[in-house]
Amino acid sequence: MQTSNEAVLTFDNVAKSFGGVHAVAGLSFSAVAGETLAILGPSGCGKTTTLRLIAGFEEPDIGTIAIGRESMIGKRPYERNVGLLFQHYALFPHMSVRENVAYGLKYRKWPKAEISSRVDEMLRLVQLEDFGGRRPQQLSGGQQQRVALARVLATKPKLVLLDEPLSALDAKLREELGAELKRILTEVGSTTIVVTHDQDEAMSLADRIIVMNRGGIDQQGSPSEIYSRPATRFVATFIGRSNWIGGTLKLNHSGGFANVVMESGTVLTTGNPGLGDEVAVKVGIRPERIAIVGTQEDDRMSGANQFPAMVVNAISMGAENHYHVICSAGTLMVVEPGGRGMSFSRGDRVKIGFRAEDCVLFPSRDAA
């Protein structure tokens, strides 16, 4: 496995538009050797365009793209040594599994015997040794994906690109193949870029995530950083679930804390976000960061913000229990681990609480 911090892929201020639509606007990032980088964003934010720019199916209008130290501007796709796993796999229907996997090696002028042993090795890696003679149409979706992956990895590309690798599979298979994909990528030690709109896919595969929004980057960081310290309101809403509470910021210069006063007069204690005094803000709080207890168990409650509340909705989702509670801060969603039945039911009087550090603040004028 490569561990050096050398950049394998560098985007420098890359822009691409299609007839006035800015698909990618001033994108700069890099991927280092051996890492799996996810580019995550909503539909239409420019993920596929980014991937196609790397692969050479599109040329940037401005900016430069480099693989290693070599500029890719003007290079044809077959001159780039990049592997791309297509969303619908694009396995050649008129070739057998073996022929598909061998295809790239043929044009790298490998000797026949070496091609054959490399194909064997790849099919073993994806655990499809006995399927070499089949046509792609004779395989299940999951098997097709593994063949496509074997075809991509066979040529030892400098960079592996995955376009929504799990989205074509059903939920059960997705989890299984996600783990399998991660194992294979780690085993091969390839530098990988995954493009997806599905946060679970990004979280489960990637070492690092870039959140894309409208052709640009909102945040990059580790999955847990992005989840617990979203840099923009867009990131906070796009990743995971949040309760949003509106109010006015009152800075208080003792310690790192601040207060947010809601229209109803209720005061929240939050971290200090570095915004000005009296700014209208939205406070975000994750449902699983809110504790919920019965009214008589006051002593178990922790955190600066505590409110008496009433349960208006209680839903068991199996692994999680979802509650909607009403309190002086509004209607909030609370999630607690399930599995041992529901602690509360509709109409129960409860107490909720959350810590100031778990609150994220953004100016109200920021788009969600």
Partner 1 sequence: MTGRRADDLIRFTCKAMNCLIILFLLTPIAVTTLMAFDARDYLGPLPPPALSLRWFSAFFSDSYFLNGLITSVKLACLSVTISLFAGVATAYAVDRARFRGKEALVSFFLSPLVVPPVVTGFALLLFLSKIGVIDGFARLLCGHIIITVPYTIRATLASISGIDKSYTEAALILGANERHAFWDITLPLARTGIVSGAIFAFAVSMDDVAVSIMLTDAKTYTLPIALISSMRANFNLSIAAASVMLMAMTILLIVLLEKLVGLNRAIGQGTFR
Ligand X SMILES: Nc1ncnc2c1ncn2[C@@H]1O[C@H](COP(=O)(O)OP(=O)(O)OP(=O)(O)O)[C@@H](O)[C@H]1O
d(CA 339, CA 321): 8
Do residues 192 and 185 make contact, with C-beta atoms less than 8 angstroms apart?
Answer: yes
Can residue 107 be called a binding residue for partner 1 (CB under 8 A)?
Answer: yes
Instruction: Write each residue from 32 to 71 as x if it is in contact with partner 1 (CB under 8 A), else as -, in one continuous string.
Output: -----------------------xxx--------------
When asked if residue 48 is in the footprint of Mg ion (CB under 5 A), the reply is: yes
User: Residue 44, interface with ligand X (CB under 6 A)?
Assistant: yes
Q: Shortest gap between Cβ of 329 and ligand X (angstroms)? A: 35
Is 18 a residue that touches partner 1 (CB under 8 A)?
A: no
Q: Which range touches ligand X (CB under 6 A), out of 16-24, 96-104, 270-278, 316-324?
A: 16-24
Q: Which is nearer to partner 1, 23 or 334 (CB)?
A: 23
Interacting residue with partner 1 among 34, 46, 83, 284 (CB under 8 A): 83
Which string of x and - marks every residue 120-159 that binds partner 1 (by CB under 8 A)? -------------------------------x---x----
20 versus 111: smaller Cβ distance to ligand X: 20
Amino acid making up residue 274: G
What is the sign, positive or negative, of the torsion defined by CA atoms of 29, 34, 38, 39? positive
Element (H, E) at 207: none
Separation between Cα atoms, residue 138 and residue 121, nearest integer Å:
21
CB of 193 to partner 1, least distance (A): 13
Strand partners, 328: none
Give 293's contacts (C-beta < 8 A, 6+ positions apart). 300, 301, 350, 351, 352, 353
**What is the layout of strands, in order, in the sheet containing 330-337?**
291-294, 349-354, 305-316, 320-327, 330-337
Between the CA atoms of 110, 111, 116 and 120, what dihedral angle is there, to the nearest 10 degrees?
-50
Task: Name residues contacting ligand X, limited to 156-215 (CB under 6 A).
Answer: 197
Query: How far is residue 115's CA from residue 100's CA, in Å, rounded to a whole number?
Result: 12
Tokens 């040594």 locate to: 81
Q: Which of 78, 114, 176, 280 binds partner 1 (CB under 8 A)?
A: 78
Q: Which residue's CB is nearer to ligand X, number 47 or number 282?
A: 47
Amino acid found at 156: K
Can you tell me the distance from the alpha carbon of 282 to that of 274, in angstroms, rounded to the nearest whole number? 14
Q: Is 56 in the site for ligand X (CB under 6 A)?
A: no
State the minimum distance, in angstroms, from the CB of residue 168 to partner 1.
Answer: 13
Whose structure tokens read 């420098």?
Answer: 12
Does position 94 bind partner 1 by CB under 8 A? yes
Report the residue from 18, 92, 189, 346 that binds partner 1 according to the rule CB under 8 A.
92
CA distance 32 to 5: 6
DSSP conformation class of 34: T
Only segment of 38-46, 172-180, 221-229, 325-333 that touches ligand X (CB under 6 A): 38-46
Residues forming the site for ligand X (CB under 6 A): 18, 21, 23, 41, 43-49, 197
Residues forming the site for Mg ion (CB under 5 A): 48
